[in-house]
Each structure stands twice: as structure tokens, then as C-alpha cells.
Amino acid sequence: MEAKPILWIVIPCYNEEAVLPITAPMFLQKLEDLGKAGKISPQSRVLFVNDGSRDRTWAIIRELAEKDERFLGISQSRNRGHQNAVLAGLMEARDKCDITISIDCDGQDDVNAMDAMVDAYLAGSEVVYGVRSKRETDTWFKRFTAESFYKLLAAMGAEVVFNHADYRLVSSLVLNHFADYEEVNIFLRGMFPLVGFPSSSVYYDRAERLAGESHYPLKKMLALAFNGITSLSVKPISLITGLGAAVSLLGLVIAIWAIVEAILGNTVAGWTSTICVVCLLGGIQLISLGIIGQYVGKTYLESKHRPRYIISERTWEKPERHWIEQ
Ligand code: UDP
Ligand code: MG
């Protein structure tokens, strides 16, 4: 029999009792279709990650797993948030499959994009980003905030794929290197580009949630954006240093002006010295803060213990695609 890659679909679930019974059969159907199309192995699985749900979600996952061996589930001891749930699933899957696809369980991400994702993998991509082509079903507000979010991230030096959330194919080869990124504050969509390897994008229309409610109100979105920036970039610290330099320069100009005014006799006693002290001290303080910040930033990056380099291929080894008999 010809070798086919084993696919594990990884699905984070938090309080999803309303939507899980609707979408679980859709994921299984997709697995079957991909298998019939000869793209993936019959050993492929659907892995649910229960993220400390308070409703019947875990009970439903257990029932699914009992009924069909292609459904599997793991449960986190408590709610740790979407990013950690996806990570837990990917780390569970990485040594049991060749490729993973992470997807939300609410039916918003179009499962039909998986065909193109697997095709892109077979054509050589190790990471395939699912990118939303349209956001017509989102409200104006959600679309505006989400798109501003990507622009802000880019401006702050965090490399992310525009309009890509966490619907993504990642090979186990990449996951094994990704496991060396041991940081606790994770922002997956910004971290996979750091790992490298050939990647591509697949476009899909984002639909509305099939049932239940979103767990991402504005407050959580802002928290995610803030976490994304501070986890991936120390650029905000450089901004302080830059601001310090600008304020110092401005302070110098104002101080010179104050001295000139004093010489011309346009001022009352004490004004010039006060202005000079305020301007110079303000500048010195901001610059000092910026310099300390640079060291704090470097310490922060060092504390992540990220791999310094990753070798993807060697001339004396065959490229790693272990599902193909070499
Ligand atoms: N989710 C999770 N843990 C959480 C919040 C959400 O695992 O603490 C899951 C949720 O079950 C869903 C996905 O993350 O599969 C995306 O959440 P949601 O649909 O609520 O976010 P939105 O699509 O509205 O941004
Ligand atoms: Mg959703």
C-alpha cells in the first residue's frame, strides 16, 4: 500500500456543548473524504482538547470517542485559554502523526479548506496558514478591531500572517522544533513564522458560529493583542528610548531659548534655571529608562531560551518526510 501522511485534526473546546454535536460529524466526514481522495492515511484522527469546560463538553467528547475510534480527546485540568489548549493538542499529536491541522470547534473555519492545506503540504509546505479572505459575516466593529490588531502587531515588529488566526496545518517535523520554544507566554500565530521552514497560505471564507457564544469579547481580544506584542517583540522599549532622545533634543532647544530670553532680559528671576532643569532632567530620565529597558528587553528574550538556529536539511541526509518509506 502506498504511504500516506497521518493527519490529526486538533480542536480546542471550551464550553461548547451547543456546537460540538453539530461540528464533530463534520470533522469526521472531512477526515473520511480526505482519506477517500487518497490524500491521508486511514490512521488519521480527530483530537478534541477540552479546555476546562464547565458544561457537558468533556462528557460529549468521551461519548464521541466511545462511538468511533477516530475521535480522541484530552482534557486540561482547568481552563488555560485557547492558545494553551491548541498547544496541548499539538504537543500530544506530534509524535503520533505526520501533520496536524488546528481548527476552532464552532464551525467558523471552513473545513473544506483542509483539502488545499493537505495539497500544499504534499507539494512541500511544512506550515500552511489558513487566511480569511473575507470578513463579511463579522460585524463592522469586529472586522475593524481585528484588522487593526494585525496592523498594530506588524508595526510593533511581531511577524504575523495578515488575517490568519489559528486555523493552520503544521507538520510534525516543525512541531518537533517548535517544542524547543519553551516560553510560557505563547502567541502561536506569531511563533510559527519564527520556526521557519517552507510555508504557504490557503484562503477561506470565515462563517458565523453555528451555535453557542463567542468566548472572545473585546476585552479578551485586547488582552490577546497585548500579549502578542509583548511576547514577540521588545519594540515598545525601543520606542521609549527613541522618545527619550526626542525629548532630550527638544529640551535642549527649549533650554537654549530660555537662556536667550534671559540674556535679552525678557524673563523674571528663576524662570530660566527652572526651565533648564526641568527640560534636561526630563530627557535624561527618559533616556536612562530606555537604556535600562534595553537590558530588561534582552534579559526577557534570553529568558525564553529560544533555539538559536534550526537546521532544516543536510546534504548527507534525505529530507525528513518519515511517512514516505525512504
Ligand atoms: N476556546 C478554548 N478556551 C478558551 C476560549 C475558547 O479552548 O478559553 C476555544 C473555543 O472552544 C473555540 C475556539 O477556542 O473552539 C475559538 O473560540 P471562540 O469561537 O469563542 O472565539 P471567536 O471565534 O469568537 O474569536
Ligand atoms: Mg469562533
Q: What is the pLDDT of residue 273?
A: 84
Residues 119 and 196 in one domain: yes
Q: Write down the pTM of the prediction.
A: 0.85
CA distances from 165 to 58, 93, 206, 222, 279 (A): 24, 20, 11, 15, 45
Q: What is the pLDDT of residue 218?
A: 77
Residues 180 and 251 in one domain: no
Q: What is the pLDDT of residue 65?
A: 96
Count of the separate structural domains present in the chain: 2
Q: What is the pLDDT of residue 325?
A: 65
Q: What is the pLDDT of residue 168?
A: 96
Distance CA 307, CA 181 (A): 7
- Give the closest residue to 190 by CA, choosing from 251, 137, 149: 149
| Atom number, ligand 1, closest to the C-alpha of residue 14 | 11
The residue with cell 461519548 is 63
Distance CA 171, CA 315 (A): 21
**Residues within 6 Å of ligand 1 by CB:** 12-14, 16, 51, 79, 81-82, 85, 104-106, 108, 214-216
Residues 31 and 141 in one domain: yes
Q: What is the pLDDT of residue 1?
A: 58
Residues 172 and 50 in one domain: yes
Q: What angle do CA 184, 14, 230 make, to 5 degrees?
A: 30
**If you ran DSSP here, which 8-state letter would residue 52 be given?**
S
C-alpha cell at 163: 488575517
Half-sphere exposure of 126 (CA within 13 A, CB side): 20
Residues 209 and 137 in one domain: yes
C-alpha cell at 262: 534671559
pLDDT in tens, the chain (326 residues): 578 999 999 999 999 999 999 999 999 999 999 999 999 999 999 999 999 999 999 999 999 999 999 999 999 999 999 999 999 999 999 999 999 999 999 988 999 999 999 999 999 999 999 998 876 667 788 788 878 888 888 888 777 888 888 999 999 999 999 999 999 888 899 899 999 999 999 999 887 888 888 777 778 878 888 888 888 888 888 888 888 888 888 888 988 888 888 888 888 888 888 888 888 888 888 888 889 989 999 999 899 999 999 998 888 887 777 677 65
321 Cα–ligand 2 center, Å = 33
SS3 27: helix
Q: What is the CATH number of the domain that holds 38?
A: 3.90.550.10
Half-sphere exposure of 65 (CA within 13 A, CB side): 15
Q: What is the pLDDT of residue 326?
A: 54
Distance CA 69, CA 301 (A): 43
Distance CA 105, CA 184 (A): 24
CA distances from 75 to 40, 65, 84 (A): 26, 13, 12
103 Cα–ligand 2 center, Å = 10
Q: What is the pLDDT of residue 322?
A: 64
Residues 6 or more apart whose CB falls under 8 angstroms from that of 274 comprise none
Protein residues near ligand 2, an ion, with CB under 5 A: 104, 106, 108
Residues 239 and 211 in one domain: no
Where in the sequence is the domain holding 28, given as residue range(s)?
7-217
